[in-house]
Amino acid sequence: LVRVHCVGICNTDLELVRGYYPYVGVPGHEFTGRVEAAPGGEEWIGRRVVGEISAVCHRCPACRAGRGSHCRNRTVLGISGRDGAMAEHLVLPLENLHAIPDGLADETAVFTEPTAAALQIQEQLSIGPGQRVQVIGAGKLGHLVAQTLALTGCDLLVLGRNAARLGLLAGRGIDTDTVDRLKEDEADLVVECTGNPEGFELARKAVRPGGTIVLKSTYRGLVPVPLAPLVVDEITVVGSRCGPFRPAIELLAAGRIDAASLVAERFPLCRGVEAFDRAAEPGVMKVLLDVAG
Ligand SMILES: [Zn+2]
Ligand SMILES: [Zn+2]
């Protein structure tokens, strides 16, 4: 049982509210909090934590094969079958929790889940110097994807529309450009983070024949995509979701990922509806909900 401190609103939450997935319950999956009760794990009581969002069964074929994030019987915090973090308390299995170091503030640690999701790309693909990598979309997730990819030493370019958002990345030494200057067949790897179906078409243009497109957006509804060019150009498409928490916490604690400049505004939980409206405005980065200190 975790007393919630801070929750981030992410695009998945905005999509859930719009009905992309038939979830009914408390939203919120990016959180920090403090453990209040832990039957069988009393040493956790009082610890400040973040938590992996999928609670798994350990019995199904996916679990037994070590792919717990694809458990057939999973519940997912604030997304599927399990009330989420936009409440005073939440419940997760102890095995999902990760203690966070004292020096790591809640408003930074709350970026653990999306930073882990960004790092998942590097779990799935080997990325390093000499590779031409493009990130399309410079929103909340695009920023974290770009910052984590920059650490690999790859030849990175971020394409976006919003000059202020691109400027933040440029300030960190990351090459940026506007999306209308996208060049065809330039990239070995393209990561699509726009959240819009049109982003896929941009990614397809940018990737070279034989290259790879990583999809990070969860689109609502169907996306009309001409598949033949993917066959002819032998493009690999990789879906990418949750990632490893421990390295995400370490990067945030070491200050190697800048999360602070991504926070647009903070609201108390009692103004949560207003916070969702704010988060849904175009160009607004991360909106945080403060539940308790
Ligand atoms: Zn999220
Ligand atoms: Zn399972």
pLDDT tens-digit profile, the chain (293 residues): 999 999 999 988 998 998 878 899 999 999 999 999 999 999 999 999 999 999 999 999 999 999 988 999 999 999 999 999 999 999 999 999 999 999 999 999 999 999 999 999 999 999 999 999 999 999 999 999 999 999 999 999 999 999 999 999 999 999 999 999 988 989 999 999 998 888 999 999 999 999 999 999 877 778 888 899 999 999 999 999 999 999 999 999 999 999 999 999 999 999 999 999 999 998 899 999 999 85
Distance 220 CA to ligand 1 centre (A): 15
Instruction: Point out the ligand nearest to the CA of residue 140.
Output: 1
Backbone angles phi, psi at 204, to 5 degrees: -65, -35
Distance 61 CA to ligand 2 centre (A): 7
Backbone angles phi, psi at 87, to 5 degrees: -160, 170
From the CB of residue 197, how many other CB atoms can be counted at a distance below 10 Å? 16
Quick one: tokens of 180?
């209308």
DSSP letters, 16-27, are HHHTSS---S--
Distance 120 CA to ligand 1 centre (A): 13
Q: How far is Cα 127 from Cα 123, in angstroms, rounded to an integer? A: 9
Distance of CA 11 to the CA centre of its chain: 9
Q: How far is Cα 157 from Cα 174, in angstroms, rounded to an integer? A: 7
Q: Which of 79, 77, 73 is nearest to 61 (CA)?
A: 73
Distance 72 CA to ligand 2 centre (A): 5
Distance 92 CA to ligand 2 centre (A): 15
Q: Is residue 175 within 8 Å of residue 158, measured between CB atoms?
A: yes
Q: Which of 250, 237, 253 is nearest to 201 (CA)?
A: 237
| pTM of this structure | 0.94
Q: Render pLDDT for 160-204 as a digit per residue (tens, 0 to 9).
A: 999 999 999 999 999 999 999 988 989 999 999 998 888 999 999
Q: Is residue 54 within 8 Å of residue 79, measured between CB atoms?
A: no
Distance 93 CA to ligand 2 centre (A): 14
Coil/strand/helix, residue 88:
coil
Report pLDDT for 272: 96
Instruction: Point out the ligand nearest to the CA of residue 111.
Output: 1
